[in-house]
Each structure stands twice: as C-alpha cells, then as structure tokens.
Amino acid sequence: MSDPKAPMFEIDVSKLPASSAAQAPAHGYRDLHAHIAELDRRGLLQRITRTIDKDSELHPLVRWQFVGGMAEKDRKAFIFENIVDSSGRKYDMPVVVGAIAANREIYSVGMDAPVEDIQKKWDHAIANPIKPRVVENAPCHEVVLTRQGLQGPGRGLDALPIPVSTPGFDSAPTLTATNVITKDPETGVQNMGTYRAALKACDRLVVRMATRVGGAGGYQHYLKHQKRGDKEMPVAIVVGCPPYVAFLGPQKLPIGVDEFDVAGGLAGEPINVVRAKTVDLIVPAEAEIVIEGFVDTEHVEPEAPFGESHGHVALEEFNMPMRVTAITHRKKAVIPSYISQVAPSESSVIKRVAYEPLFLAHLRDQLSIKGVKRVALHEPLTGLLRVTTIVVEKGMPKTEVWRALYGAAFFKGDCGKICIAVNDDIDPDNADAIFWAMAYRSNPVEDVQTVAHRGQGHGPKREHGGEEDSTLLIDATMKSDMPPLALPKKEYMERAKTIWEELQLPALRPQPPWFGYSLGDWHREWDEAAARAAKGQWMENGRISLSRQRTGLVPETKFRPDGD
C-alpha cells in the first residue's frame, strides 16, 4: 500500500510548471489535464493511490466496473498515481483509464455538450471545419528524448508505464489510447486514426493499422509509400490529446479530410499544433506524449496476441515495425489507456457515440428515409459490429422500413450483420423488448430476409481469409394496431413507486416497459370503463354491459363499443 499522506499527482492546471503556462498558446478548449480536473469536479474520477502493477492489476481493476453489474451511469474514470511493473520498478507518470468514455456522461464532458446534443455538434463540426494554428512552442516539447535517451533499460518506451490490457493473453504492453498521425505522400493531407501499438524494445514497436474493409487512412498512406518505393513512412503516435482531438481518432471521416480541421470545428476555434521534432508532421501542441518515428514499409514483424475490441483475442499476425526517433512529452505527463476488449468498454462507448449519429444521418439525409428516429448499435459482447436496431415511427410504410434495413446493413462494411427494425415504443437497448417485438410483430415468412456475400469484417474471423458471411434483416415493426401492453398505466405505477420508496423497500431500477400504454387498438369507452374500475365504480360498468346483452352469438365473438 502507498503512504496515504504522500503527495498525490496534481491535475489542477493552474498548478502546472511555470514553463507550461509560458509555452502554452492561448486556447479555450480543454487539454487532458483540464478534462481530468473537470471530471474530478463532477465526481466522475476515481483516484487510486495504492501501489498497482501495470502488467497484471491495472486493467483488470477497471474492468470490474464493466462486468460487475454496475449501471453505466455509475462508471468512472480511474487515475492511478503509484504505478509499478511486475518487477516492482516504479514509474513517475500516472495512468488514467476511462477518462474519454467510461460512460456517455464522461464523453459528453469531453464534448462540452449534453449527450442529446452531441450529434448536432458533430454535424456542425464536419460542415464547418476550422484549420489548426501552427505554434512555435508547445507543452508537448517540454521534454525531448532522442538517440541515447531512447536506449537502455528504463529509457525510451521502457520509461513509460504502458499497461498490459488483457493479462493472461496479451504478449506485450500496448498503446491503445492513440491518435496515430500519418501524411498522404501525394496530397500532403494528414490522417489521424486510433491504432494499437505493441511495445517491442526501448526504441521499437509494432503498429496495427487496420486493413479491414478497405483499409484505414493510415494504411492507405502506407500503401502509397510502398508504391512510390519509399522504404519508410513518417509516423507520430500521440498519447493523451485534448478530448476534441482524441475523439477524432476513432471517428470515421471521408478520405482526405484532416481530423485537425474537424476538431477545430468541435472546439469552435483552431487547435494548436506544433511541428514534430524528427518527422515532417504536425502534432497537437497540448499533447501529453508524442512518439515519433518511421514505419518500415518493406518488413513486417509478428504482433499480438492482444485482446481486441471485437471481444476475442486477436492472434499473432505480421504488422508494421516502427523505429522510434524521438519521444517528447510534458514535464507532468499523464498517460491515457483505453479499456477495450469485450464490450461494453471504453472503446465501445467512444465508437457508439460517434457511429450512431453517422448511421442516422446516412438514412435520413443521404437516403432521405422519413420516419427513422434512431439507430442503435448493440454493445454488450457484440461490440457494435454485428447487431443494428433501427427505431422508426409507427405506421412507417413497409417500403421505407426495408430501405432503412438495407441502408443500415450496408452503410459500414463491418457493422450490421443482423439488422432489426422496431417501432419507437421499443427500447433498442433492452434485448427482452427486441425479442418481444420479434415474437409478436413479425411473420418470419414475410418479414425476414437473408442476403448473401457479406465480408467477415472486423472480428475473430478476418475478411482477408476469404470466408464469406451473410446478412439477416428483420422487420419487427407493428403492421397494424394492437391491444395495449398489459401493465398498469403510468400514473398508477408512479403512485405505487412513491409508496414503495416510502416503505423503504429495496431500490428499484425500472426496466422499460414498466407501465402499460396503447398500441392503437383501444377505444375511448374502454378508457372510461377502466377509469371507473380504478375508482371502485365497477358496478356502473356492469350496468352498461347488461344493456348490451344479445342472443344468437357464440362465446368469444368480438365486441366493439362503436358497433363495428
């Protein structure tokens, strides 16, 4: 255990070294230090001061808030201030996990917008990009390590407390919370993506720039360098960006769009950038750490096993070696690490908040489908990539429902293997409600289609193995009016909940649907009769039904008050 009286890592930006204040260009957006301080102020930060082994304890500890039955709203960012490795060697830098998106509230703090306004903010930023501002001095260059500073035990990459993400399966500490910057050798436009990078030596790591479904932007640059005959590609791996910049790593933008421009659109002002020390790239001025170097375009090196975001361990594959030419960082740097692997996780929250608005905009704006209210990507275990739910208005024409199903299924190559359309009374995050809609609102002969020739996408079976997959589309919307859901109306359930709490019975976590509501097949007179029954006036209902007795009908003949 660490000494509880020992000084804790200081995250108050007002108390950073004077040199940081002198070098930092003026800006209105938060850097990671300020973001962590804001999380702390809002009660969204868990501070761990006891000694924690980064190789075997750190990620498993944070993992418990994703697999321990906690509600999403109760998850927090964790900052570890007393870190050792498995041999007991101590590190000077703290590690923060979950600070970008342990839950949607933390993501919204980084976006400086309520969760419900995040889509509008993304739309505005993409439509109104702002070019970055190049500065001469930057906090990320307070410490610059090159040459001998990168060599030997405890130096270079070995000086950084990079955690092992999946102890028991991973073969190396791996950088996960990255913004990897490359540049198109033909156009000069930079790309920024989130790719994992496994540590191999003090000055060498291996980067996996995803090759799935057409290839990520950095991989496209790699191919261009190969075609030109370049033996190396300049790369800068940024660890610990201002949140507006960090969010751009996993976001999917059109090829050729510079993520710094969109980050400026999010911030409403230019993002401060600075030229890297040993590669011809620009990097965020307020970054915590920048690892500069060159990816080898001729050789590949085995990388992994590593617990991947699709929820399975990625087995060893050949990927891109990178020789490190410089490591620069702030004097009091913080290292962020993403919780990934089996969803839900931090990486799945980041992707979900980013991807769902893209799907919705595609269906509404590009395909002009009316009546689509939400697109939800299923998160637990399937990790957003396999099950997509489209929430539509009641009464949406069948042709439009099917256009939405096809549009969502093929908008993104590695998402939407199973697509289900439901009405807006169904909570897409409630699997029981989805099954309910499928059970009562779909006819498998008419409302289910399969489509062949789909790629495997990102997962334990990779698309370049040549094995095909297929797609399942299900229309689980109501085709006609149905009787109400058989639960007490909302006002009666709310009254009972108040009594429950007055009696101090066990805490409730209402699971929708928790009250009954009309599904269209309901008459005003039935509403009136129900209201009388709830007031004890049931004999009046008996008097009315007596007046409607008839002869010549078999039992269970339907009756409508309007005579239909």
pLDDT band at 272 (very low <50, low <70, confident <90, very high): very high
Phi, psi of 99 (to 5 degrees): -75, -15
Q: Is pLDDT of 459 > 80?
A: no
Burial of residue 542 (CB within 10 Å: 0-12, 13-18, 19+) is exposed
Q: Please tell me the predicted confidence (pLDDT) of residue 6.
A: 32
CATH of 13-333, one of 2.30.110.10, 3.10.20.600, 1.10.150.110, 3.30.70.2190: 2.30.110.10
Return all residues near 105 (Cβ < 8 A) that are at least 6 apart.
44, 73, 115
Average pLDDT in the chain: 91
Q: What is the CATH number of domain 346-475?
A: 3.40.1670.10
pLDDT for the residue numbered 212: 58
CA distance 428 to 35: 31
**Neighbouring residues of 112: CB distance < 8 A, sequence distance ≥ 6:** 30
Q: Is the pLDDT of residue 486 over 60?
A: yes
Residue 214 has pLDDT above 60, yes or no: no
Rounded to an integer, the average pLDDT of 170-181 is 96
Mean pLDDT of 167-192: 96
Per DSSP, helices labelled H in 232-312 are: 243-246, 259-267
Q: What is the pLDDT of residue 211?
A: 64
Look at residue 7 in the predicted model and tell me its pLDDT: 30
Which residue intervals of the chain bear CATH 3.40.1670.10? Answer: 346-475
Cβ-defined contacts of 455-458 (< 8 Å, 24+): 455/213, 455/413, 455/414, 457/212, 457/213, 457/385, 457/413, 457/414, 457/415, 457/417, 458/210, 458/212, 458/213, 458/309, 458/310, 458/385, 458/414
Q: Which of 49-53, 330-334, 444-448, 464-468 has the lowest mean pLDDT?
A: 464-468
Reported as a single tens digit per residue, the pLDDT across 95-122 is 999 999 999 999 999 999 998 899 889 8
Angstrom distance (rounded) from CA 415 to CA 384: 7
Quick one: pLDDT at residue 341?
87
pLDDT of residue 53: 96
CA distance 32 to 99: 9
**Residue 35's CB: how many other CB atoms inside 10 A?**
28
What residue ranges of the chain are covered by domains with CATH 2.30.110.10? 13-333
- Rounded mean pLDDT, 309-336: 94
Nearest to 236 by CA among 191, 195, 292: 292
Q: State phi, psi for 265 to the nearest 5 degrees.
A: -65, -40
The 10s digit of each residue's pLDDT in 526-541 is 999 999 999 999 999 9
pLDDT at residue 23, rounded to an integer = 54
- Considering the entire predicted model, what is its pTM? 0.84
Q: Binning pLDDT at 50, 70 and 90, where does residue 464 land? A: low
pLDDT of 548 higher than 60: yes
Between CA 374 and CA 365 the distance in angstroms is 13
DSSP 8-state class, residue 141: G
For residue range 116-148, list pLDDT tens digits in order: 899 889 889 999 999 999 999 999 999 999 999
* Confidence at residue 5, expressed as pLDDT on a 0 to 100 scale: 33
Q: Taking 90 as the threshold, does the pLDDT of residue 413 lie above it?
A: no
